[in-house]
Structure 1
Amino acid sequence: MENKQVMKKTFGIMTAITMVVGTVIGSGIFFKPQAIYTATGGKPGLGMIAWLITGLVSIAAALTFAEIAILIPKTGGMVEYLSKVFGERVGYLAGWMQVVLALPAMAAGLAVIFADQVTLLTGNNVTIPVAIFVLIFVVILNCMSSKVGGGVQVVFTICKLVPLVLIIVFGFIKGSGTNTVFTPMVGEGLSPITVLGTLMVAILFAFEGWTNVGAIAGEMKNPGRDLPIAIVGGVSVITAIYFIINLAYLWVIPADQLAATSAPATLVARHIFGDFGSILITIGIMISCFGTCNGFLMSGSRVTYAMAEGGKLPFFKFLSKLNKTQTPANSIIFTGALSCIFALTGQYNLLTDLGVFSSWIFYTLTFVAVIVYRNQRPDIKRSYKVPLYPIIPILAIISGIFVVLNQFITATMLSLGSVIITIIGLPVYIYMNKKHMSNS
């Protein structure tokens, strides 16, 4: 009998938490305030409230997601959950979407925004070559071993908190505090309900990535204990950080000026620390983007590995191979290559919007799966249960549907492209099943 390769269980609670915090806190908190205050007509109130509302929605989603992540702690994450509850076809499409679209697009988007900052600092348009270099470098680090990749995640998560802490502390010390924060809600002629939908879609990108910790569950030492702490605790901490730093932004710069700049955090830093200080903060933002890129590429490669190892990528069996350090190097290289292709667009917003819409279709199905699995397998002992069941899962489901429909209405062509690429996975799945039947 052939010996099956097994990835080492090297990830502890610190890596799991930093996977959540490090993957989520990336570029959104530094760049999305422009889109938020543009949508509110340069007024702060609804923007600040939207950060809280979206944070609570994300916590509800995290509380729901954690239950099924603990019950099925396998490398591959959402693919395994949906396959178990709704059948292999649905799980396959979720995996296909993550492998060929969402995760490499998100990694590429983070590399592009990193490269945009290099362009800003040097004055030379080097976005695409620098983005590709960053992705190749991240691939090399992760191919060394899972321990190295996890170590990079821990170190860069700690480093990325530095500019956040500096802006928060010195923003409140040096800021005038005379700008309005919670009033007025929106500009004249704008509907708060309509604007809130736009704001939530923008802010959800800033929260994107907390589900990725489920993809490394198979390499965690104690997933039953560590997953709920990492997911729920991580998202709660992130919600608090986001609200406080946005308060600090407004303490220094009014909302209408934040809406008028493509780099709000850099503008705030310049007011606080001067030109040299703003350069240091920009470098800190680059570190943040690098760490987030590492997180998306790490989790994306694990989904690819899980799909290939389960025979779900018939044309790419080599992706199921591990190297001498028991690391899925081939899958890491494959995910990195796809990310490089996406990075050729040089379009940060396009890539991140594509990733968010694609992911939230299957996030919502995962929330539904928690309720369905409760009914399918009530006999299974659950070490963790969603609190206030079924209210919290229903809230997560409604929020997911709202996000998907809103994005489809406001960005129809982008959404259609995502759906088409996902559906292409169906003929691959059919071929895979036919090949399996012919060999059996």
Structure 2
Amino acid sequence: MEETSKGLKKELSFFTALTIVMGTVIGSGVFFKPEAVYQATETAGLGLAAWLLGGLITICGGLTTAELSAAIPETGGMVVYLRRAYGPLVSYLLGWAQTMVYFPANIAALSIIFATQAINLTGLDSQYTIPIAIAAAVLIIVTNLMGTQQAGRLQSVATVAKMVPLFVIIIFGLLYQGDVQFQLLPENLAPTSTISKLGTGLVATLFAYDGWINVGAIAGEMKDPKKDLPKAIVAGLTAVMGIYILINLAYLQVMPAAALGATPTPAADVAHLIFGDAGGKLVTIGILISVFGTINGYTMTGIRVPYAMALNNELPFSNQLKKLNRQQVPANSAILLLLIAVIMIFTGQYNQLTDLLIFVIWIFYTLVFVAVFILRKKEPDLVRPYKAPLYPIIPLIAIIGGCFIVVNTLLTQPVNTALGIFLTAIGLPIYFYKQKKKTA
């Protein structure tokens, strides 16, 4: 799975890394996750606390992971860190989980929300949700099969498009003169109930913050990764958290928390209230383009994971999965991801799918945070141009936050988490079978 950085051009700057962090993180979650957040937390104050806590945990995770990104500036990112700390089995399981759960669930969930938004815009019957979602996923896979350049152009357009509705809603939402009253605290402040509500809301916000760790994968192509990568992660995530808090304040200025928690299209509903029907539709179109681009971003990255694993003969049918088409795109890997995503689309469950992928990926994120401690002992002489500040406090906060997310999801969504564990564990017999064949 690890790709050597030899031969890659070192031409990416700090600003490029910063835009990659912000561009990767800001996607559909900021427009659609308020439903799950406020449905779980029930009040404005607890909902805002979930957005703030999600940002703080992510920043602590970024500050912690940046130590590994700077010390091990190799293309591959998280896969490389896990291999160095735990060996090949754990890094293999990450790749397997990304192939079977993380990327397909992202593509499926985003396709469902794209379809929901399209139906909201056009007034079509909700029975068309699944067909539109499948059509969106297929169209993006086809675009990627046409070549990286075409997929990259789509990504550039979508990155610009998603900033327009974001800042329009923030500016006009905060200036909106309505009669919405904030209820900062829940009526029932029982500790167990409050922690459970906050935990469920937190898992929802983390989907909106997800994607930040992927910037580590471009370390091998940065001009000065040791200095610029940590700064890009921290500055980018701080800016994203500020934007998320502002847009949620704008939402709450226009609609009460209960109303936000009751609609699958909160951003579009807020836009319609601010701008009326015509203006609201224009903002909705911008959101649609943003979601489409986010699906494309996860597709571009995702189809290369099974391809990289196939190069090391780590998957069944590796000989097929490592084949490239005429445009030098791993076509069979793309089709594999599409097939898994389509199966997930048939569930029609956006929030369930996003909670599933967050649960699975945060198991590995937490292992990355622990890897900072392991590698300080295992490789004390490793040159660390950047070290996690306030060590061991910041890494411990990241680990505690990660454990809280995983355990809370286990307790509140036992069926969903059992599915995530099962899909990840399927990779174990395949790994041992492949290892046995190598040594035979």
Both structures adopt the same fold (TM-score exceeding 0.5)? yes
Q: Higher mean Cα deviation, 25-34 or 365-374? A: 25-34
Contact preservation (8 Å) 2:93, 2:427: yes
CA–CA distance in structure 1, aligned partners of residues 360 and 341 of structure 2: 16
Q: Residue in 2 aligned with 1:279?
A: 281
CA–CA distance in structure 1, aligned partners of residues 232 and 346 of structure 2: 34
Q: Residue in 1 aligned with 2:137?
A: 135
Q: Higher mean Cα deviation, 210-219 or 339-348? A: 210-219
CA–CA distance in structure 1, aligned partners of residues 340 and 366 of structure 2: 25
Contact preservation (8 Å) 1:144, 1:325: yes
CA–CA distance in structure 1, aligned partners of residues 8 and 336 of structure 2: 21
Report the CA distance between 1:111 and its aligned residue: 1.1
Name the CA shift for 1:118/1:141 in 2 (closer, same or farther; >3 Å): same
Deviations 1:67-116 (A, max 9, x none): 22333344443222211210111111111111111111111110111011
Q: Higher mean Cα deviation, 230-239 or 145-154? A: 145-154
CA–CA distance in structure 1, aligned partners of residues 142 and 166 of structure 2: 28
Instruction: Provide the secondary structure at the position in 2 that maps to 1:94.
Output: helix
CA–CA distance in structure 2, aligned partners of residues 81 and 96 of structure 1: 16
Name the CA shift for 1:113/1:168 in 2 (closer, same or farther; >3 Å): same
CA–CA distance in structure 2, aligned partners of residues 301 and 76 of structure 1: 14
Q: Residue in 1 aligned with 2:31?
A: 30
Q: How does 1:99-248 map to 2 (within 5 A)?
A: 99-122=99-122, 123-124=124-125, 125-176=127-178, 179-181=180-182, 183-188=183-188, 191-217=193-219, 223-224=225-226, 226-248=228-250
Report the CA distance between 1:244 and its aligned residue: 0.4
Report the CA distance between 1:161 and its aligned residue: 0.9
| Partner amino acid, structure 1, of 2:41 | T
Instruction: Provide the secondary structure at the position in 1 that maps to 2:386.
Output: coil
Q: Higher mean Cα deviation, 350-359 or 255-264? A: 255-264
CA–CA distance in structure 1, aligned partners of residues 65 and 260 of structure 2: 34
Instruction: Provide the secondary structure at the position in 2 that maps to 1:111.
Output: helix
Contact preservation (8 Å) 1:15, 1:151: no
Report the CA distance between 1:217 and its aligned residue: 4.6
Deviations 1:171-226 (A, max 9, x none): 122333x5444x43113365433322222112112112222333455566664455
Q: Residue in 1 aligned with 2:68?
A: 68
Report the CA distance between 1:10 and its aligned residue: 8.7
- In structure 1, list runs of 5 or more residues that go unmatched: none
Name the CA shift for 1:292/1:361 in 2 (closer, same or farther; >3 Å): same
Q: Residue in 2 aligned with 1:407?
A: 409
Contact preservation (8 Å) 2:116, 2:129: yes
| Partner amino acid, structure 1, of 2:315 | L
Contact preservation (8 Å) 1:40, 1:185: no
Structure 1 segments, 4+ long, off by >6 Å, are 4-7
Contact preservation (8 Å) 1:61, 1:367: yes
Residue 396 of structure 2 is aligned to residue 394 of structure 1: yes
Residue 101 of structure 2 is aligned to residue 91 of structure 1: no
Residue 54 of structure 2 is aligned to residue 54 of structure 1: yes
- In structure 2, list runs of 5 or more residues that go unmatched: none
CA–CA distance in structure 2, aligned partners of residues 329 and 217 of structure 1: 26
Instruction: Provide the secondary structure at the position in 2 that maps to 1:380.
Output: coil
Contact preservation (8 Å) 1:212, 1:296: no
Contact preservation (8 Å) 2:359, 2:409: yes
Q: What is the number of residues matched between the two proteins?
A: 432
Return the TM-score normalized by structure 1: 0.90
| Partner amino acid, structure 1, of 2:195 | I
Q: Higher mean Cα deviation, 213-222 or 304-313? A: 213-222
Q: Percent identity?
A: 50
Name the CA shift for 1:96/1:11 in 2 (closer, same or farther; >3 Å): farther
Report the CA distance between 1:321 and its aligned residue: 4.0
